[in-house]
Structures are given as C-alpha cells and as structure tokens.
Amino acid sequence: MLRVLKLLLVVPIAIGLILLAVANRQVVTLVLDPFRSGPDAISITMPLFVIALVTLLIGIFLGYVAAWFAQGKHRRSARQFKRECEKLQAERAELRAAIPPTAPALLSQK
C-alpha cells in the first residue's frame, strides 16, 4: 500500500519536472553579484531548467539537514533509552541467575 502511495506521489512530480525542463530550455544569465551589473559581474549562464532543478535540490538538502538537526534530541533520548534497557536486561539476567532452583516451587505454594 505504501508503495502505491509513493508511486502516486512521485510520478506526477517527475512528470512535472520533465515538463519544466522541456518548456524552459532557453539560456539565461544568473548574476550572483547584486552590486555590479554588466560584463564584470559574477554570473553564470545556463538553461533555466538547470537553475530551477539545482535550486530545488539545494532546498531539499537544506530541509533534510534542518530536520536532522531538529531530531537530534530524539535520537539522543533513544540512545539513552537503549542503554538503560540493556542495563536493566543485564540486571534481570543476574537476578534470575541468583534465584535458587527451588525458589519457584516455594513461591507457587500458598
């Protein structure tokens, strides 16, 4: 079911990106220096769809990094919980080993 939902989401996005690339093949100049204009300004000349796709990829990457940092406290608490569980399991195993074999029979009598 999840595979179908993922497919229903990815296919329209892929079709949209392909249509964007086909429709925007013209070459544009992206000026990176806001204080200079003209031939001495820092600029990049490339097709418009490349600029759009690179911008999209940078946005996805920055969103991934922001989410990773935001979830750091959850990962830390999960590690602490795992360490505590392992410690408690080891303590339980020690306590079970310390119970004499006749103890369960004595505990079941009332």
- Residue 47 covered by a domain: yes
How many domains is the chain partitioned into structurally? Answer: 1
19-43: pLDDT as tens digits: 888 888 899 988 888 887 777 788 8
pLDDT for residue 107 is more than 70 = no
59-84: pLDDT as tens digits: 999 999 999 999 999 999 999 999 99
- How far is the CA of 52 from the CAs of 25, 58, 107, in angstroms? 11, 10, 73
State mean pLDDT over 43-62: 91
Token look-up 């796709």 returns: 53
- Residue 106 covered by a domain: no
- Residue 104 covered by a domain: no
- Residue 4 covered by a domain: no
- Residue 103 covered by a domain: no
Residue pair 50/22 in contact by the 8 Å Cβ criterion: no
- Residue 66 covered by a domain: yes
Q: How confident is the model at residue 108 (pLDDT cuts 50, 70, 90)?
A: low
Q: How confident is the model at residue 94 (pLDDT cuts 50, 70, 90)?
A: very high
pLDDT at residue 73 in the model: 95
Residue with more model confidence, 23 or 90: 90
- Residue 84 covered by a domain: yes
Which residue range is the domain that position 66 belongs to? 10-98
Q: How far is 23 from 25, CA to CA, in rounded Å?
A: 6
Q: Is 38 left (phi over 0), alpha (psi -120 to 50) or beta?
A: left
DSSP structural state of residue 43: E
- Residue 110 covered by a domain: no
